[in-house]
Chains A and B, each alone.
Chain A
Amino acid sequence: MKNSLPAPRVRRIGGVLVASATAVALTACSAGAGDTAGGSKLVVTYMDSGTYNVAAEKYAPTFEKENDAKVSIEAFPFATLGQQNATDLITGTGAFDVMSTSAWDVEIYNNLDPLTKRIDGWKNRDQYIPELLKDGPSPYASGEQVGLTYASDAYGIFVNTKYLPADTTFTDWDDLVAKATALKSTLPADVVPISFAFGAADQIPSIFQGAYNSYYVNSDGKWALDEARATKAMQTIGDIAALGTANAASLSIDEANENFLAGKAAMLIVWPSFVRGALNDESRSTLGDAWAQVPFPGPGTPALSTWSLSVSKLSKNKDLAWSWIEDFLTPEHATEWMFTYGIGSPFQSTYEDPELLKTHANDLPIQAQNLAKALPLPLTLKSFDPFMRPMSEFVSGKGTAADAVAAINQGWAGLEVPKALITTGKANGFVQK
């Protein structure tokens, strides 16, 4: 007896298989065609922070109406935004027209459209903080500016004026540690001299940058730290951790802020935009007006965080993309969003507004002062990991300050510094002469 299927049935099954495959292929083709259709559509990336992306979403309908365009805001968490931008550019996908870029994206700057000419003729240029247009604070590739900063923040120090006067200044970080140590014995038992988010390991380098005044790239064009000076700066990190709460090593940004807002810390070292909203909100802060931002001490520089809007070289709507940047980034929007969402304004006019100065004199002048001297570290994400992890290990009690510096130099040993970063690093004094 033959145990086979009848031939008509085989043909029928085969026919069904072929028909199914054809249907799937046609569906895929039609979906693809739908994706590429559409004239003035703009896709813009932002960090999913609940601030930048919210401001963009709020503004998008106005832009759509004025420009007869469709805007899609794609928000990604910080951890993946850079990856999304980079993957889109280096694989030639071209899904995003305007990208939110930061100093960490230096390796993709060459894939961004030059904006120098557009920025030269930009209507709001004269109200902008001039230092933010320079290479370093702004993204540059081959001498061309490839992005315009829409959010800027400089690492800051806030004091509780119940324990330290509003006009406190520190000559350097040694002075800060000495004053905080002296203050410790005078504070109530439940108040610590300094609150800082050591548990957020990526924040620790901001103290290092403030306390370190030497090179990050050596004369051979390799990432490296001056061991003696770096060890001293690293020790400062340890000293500050010892002046915090018992669980200082595990404090998140929110917890560190909460300590200060609840009056449990005399000083807070933080990105001002992370805490300004809460400090100005009586329902979230117990301090009332008893706080002030004080100048960030040297000998290093305050860390600078900037988010810029850049146009992808792959964009098919470059003019419309620039229109988005130009219309999104106005002094009016920046001032409004600084106090609504905490987004640091890049316009000088915000910090010099007489009306705002009446109510924010304890914050805005110092913020502008810190912004003018703040710089981004000459690092990529690839080199930041071996930079911050040894610091985190040191804070958690593993090894000495010198061990941490040696580990950083070892971790950097095999990495190549992108050319664009050497130019920027030289301009900002971060390259060994």
Chain B
Amino acid sequence: MIAVSCIELCKTYRQGDQDIKALDHVSIDIEKGGFVCLSAPSGGGKTTLLNAIGGLDIPDSGEVWIAGQRIDQLSKGQLAHLRLRQIGFVFQAYNLIPVLTARENVEFVMQVQGVRAAERRERTDAILAEVGLAGLEGRRPAEMSGGQQQRVAVARAIVSRPALVLADEPTANLDSKSSDALMELFVELNQRHNTTFIIATHDQRVMAYARRVIRMLDGRIVEDIRQHAA
């Protein structure tokens, strides 16, 4: 079953007098439960592709389908609903809400979804324990290390059990030990919940965990490798 399908995606940015092709006729299908890494050097188009899949950026042309629904023509409100219900995001810079505690950051998406308080609490406690943050629920982002913050961000992305998790350079600010721990957590969640993971990275250690690595260069897919994960 196809979780994500991109057909002939094109996206051009204007930088000064230059047009930069961030996506140049990109077509890919990603199966449900897939664990895929998008790899490219900086400016290669991986973040643009990730944003297009997540409905955060609208391609100039082409189609994006998520779970059988075409999303590139949806309104802002419909895209917000799609992201809320079906997609979990992990950003490079953690992007936690500084005025909320770890627990509240994790609960945030569920609160917006309208999940009842008791259920929210139960699921938050479980996920925070799962990512190794039990006991730190009351801390605000400024009181946590980078690794801890990224684990909160991961917990927030997966706590509402989205079908798809999009992670943009999730290990970029982590040391190798924290990176490995995070990737092992992703693999475990992928296997346990059959959640589809698409991770944009240029870190070889991260790519080693993926079952499929899609290499991009100058907005084009240059290699699509299926491999045995580490």
- Do the two chains bind? no
